[in-house]
Amino acid sequence: MSVPMTIAEKILAAHAGLDEVVPGQLVQVDVDLALGNDITAPIAIRTFREAGVEKVFDREKIALVADHFVPNKDINSAEQAKQLRVFAAEQNIVNHFDGGETGVEHVLLPEKGLVLPGDVVIGADSHTCTYGAMGAFATGVGSTDLAATMITGKTWFKVPESIKFVYNGELGPWVTGKDLILYTIGDIGVDGALYMAMEFSGPVIDRLSMAERFTMSNMAIEAGGKAGLINPDQTTLDYVAGRSDREFNIYKSDPDARYSRVIEYDCTGLEPQVAFPHLPENTRPISQVGNIPLDQVVIGSCTNGRFEDLKMAAQVLSGRKVAKGVRLIVLPTTPRVYQQALSAGLFQIFLDAGAVIGPPTCGPCLGGHMGILARGERALATTNRNFVGRMGHPESEVYLANPAIAAASAVLGRIAAPDQL
């Protein structure tokens, strides 16, 4: 009789060649995809070379994405992107994205069909947990761990305990997956799921689009989570269809699987959430935000820069102007998202409103470029982190919210909801 397991445990067991695993067990697993970007991959490449190895374990199972400082902002970032190009050419890496083909890694890889349900994915970037939305076990690792995987095709994990989050009720207008995850982090805290698999479930999750699911899994790390998983369903399969001809396995948690905790939320009446500086757990409902004037609004990032996010923002901005003194920056996350937004007429709405439209880049999210804050400036962003100095000067402030709140705030010049327009 098989032991009941969670989705996280099932995926790790399968990739470790074991019938079952239990939380706390150390396992060595085969990795389906190993990811590095223009900040983290150069360190991994250096470690790879120091090991004296000549070839990567599989040139099709490594992805190198230049997305953090591109188009290159200075000499150092140009050198980093060049290291990726040189290594990719030398190793004949199939999935190297640069120039007009690149995009924000955690939107680009699922879009390209490089991540599938049931995969184990590691990335030298903390928001690799995004792919858990597809029912994959995906997590961030250090650059030396990435180097080890590039050599061996394997990595090791301590099997995490799982917390099950059950979302019941009905979502009100302008309430999105971003609000669900902000509310959750506000409830359990930034270390509330430390080294745990967060499993998102319930009728509300079942009705979310893939874009909103990606947003939720993306921010599992902001609660300390090792992974943020959603059991695959028809929505997942519809998203995956036609993106890859690689075979994949669907894993789902057993009904009687063991969890360290089960937390239930009634989402009826939940308002859009805003995270105050300087932690994602400092959340407040929009009605309790008060009067907070803004200098900048950023719509984009691996959290909320997909087509659906831009469409929601455009819906609010249509026929309106950005407030005087506020800079609105819109960053589509991939060339495909850029093309979709352009074809749908969203760019016209953004331009008419007075927004700046940038290329697919992480840009200001990590204080990279294209929207750095000066001393004392305040930004509202659809990004995932608002730590001290995250978007620029240590004495600047970042608030986090969904795309509709961001758009309404850009128009009113202060943090506000669309119904205040």
The token pair that represents 245 in the structure block: 């001809």
Judged by DSSP in three states, 395 sits in coil
Q: What is the pLDDT of residue 290?
A: 94
The token pair that represents 241 in the structure block: 């269809």
Q: What is the pLDDT of residue 1?
A: 66
The token pair that represents 307 in the structure block: 């087509």
Say whether both 291 and 349 belong to one domain. yes
Say whether both 230 and 323 belong to one domain. no
Q: Is residue 2 part of a domain?
A: no
The token pair that represents 27 in the structure block: 């396992």
Q: Is residue 26 part of a domain?
A: yes
Helices 403-412, 307-317: axis angle to 10 degrees equals 30
Judged by DSSP in three states, 230 sits in coil
Eight-state DSSP code of residue 266: E
Using the 3D structure, point to which of 230, 264, 298 is the last residue of a domain.
264
Residue among 273, 177, 267 nearest 216 (CA)? 177
Give the span between the Cα atoms of 8 and 164, in whole angstroms. 11
Letter for the amino acid at 376? G
Contacts of 265 (CB under 8 A, 6+ apart): 165, 166, 167, 168, 169, 180, 183, 184, 187, 202
Q: Is residue 271 part of a domain?
A: no
Say whether both 112 and 199 belong to one domain. yes
Token pair 């184990």: residue: 120
Q: Is residue 358 part of a domain?
A: yes
The token pair that represents 280 in the structure block: 């994602």
Any idea of the CA torsion for 59, 132, 261, 169, to the nearest 10 degrees? 180
Residue among 40, 41, 225, 22 nearest 129 (CA)? 225
Say whether both 195 and 103 belong to one domain. yes
Q: What is the pLDDT of residue 387?
A: 83
Say whether both 292 and 158 belong to one domain. no
Judged by DSSP in three states, 394 sits in coil
Helices (H), 24-176: 41-50, 75-91, 105-111, 143-152
With beta carbons less than 8 A apart as the criterion, state whether 216 and 230 touch.
yes
Give the span between the Cα atoms of 361 and 316, in whole angstroms. 23
Judged by DSSP in three states, 290 sits in coil
Say whether both 21 and 115 belong to one domain. yes
Using the 3D structure, point to which of 217, 233, 264 is the last residue of a domain.
264
Say whether both 205 and 100 belong to one domain. yes
Say whether both 144 and 289 belong to one domain. no
Using the 3D structure, point to which of 264, 292, 307 is the last residue of a domain.
264
Q: Is residue 1 part of a domain?
A: no
**Distances from the Cα of 235 to the Cαs of 101, 116, 230, in angstroms?**
27, 13, 11
- Phi and psi torsions of 248, nearest 5°: -145, 165
Contacts of 304 (CB under 8 A, 6+ apart): 178, 215, 382, 383, 402, 403
Residue among 353, 364, 359, 286 nearest 326 (CA)? 353
Q: Which CATH number characterizes residue 332's domain? A: 3.30.499.10
The reported pTM is: 0.96
Helices (H), 29-92: 41-50, 75-91
Per-residue pLDDT of the chain (421 residues; tens, 9 = 90+): 689 999 999 999 999 999 999 999 999 999 999 999 999 999 999 999 999 999 999 999 999 999 999 999 999 999 999 999 999 999 999 999 999 999 999 999 999 999 999 999 999 999 999 999 999 999 999 999 999 999 999 999 999 999 999 999 999 999 999 999 999 999 999 899 999 999 999 999 999 999 999 999 999 999 999 999 999 999 999 999 999 999 999 999 999 999 999 999 999 999 999 999 999 899 999 999 999 999 999 999 999 999 999 999 999 999 999 999 999 999 999 999 999 999 999 999 999 999 999 999 999 989 889 999 999 999 999 999 998 889 999 999 999 999 999 999 999 999 999 999 8
Letter for the amino acid at 331? L
Q: Is residue 167 part of a domain?
A: yes
Token pair 């016209």: residue: 348
Q: Is residue 270 part of a domain?
A: no
Say whether both 295 and 415 belong to one domain. yes
> What is the total count of domains within the chain?
2
Instruction: Give the domain range for residue 348.
Output: 276-420
Say whether both 366 and 248 belong to one domain. no
Largest CA distance in the chain: 67
Judged by DSSP in three states, 320 sits in coil
Say whether both 213 and 249 belong to one domain. yes
Q: What angle do CA 83, 336, 60 make, to 5 degrees?
A: 45
Say whether both 326 and 241 belong to one domain. no
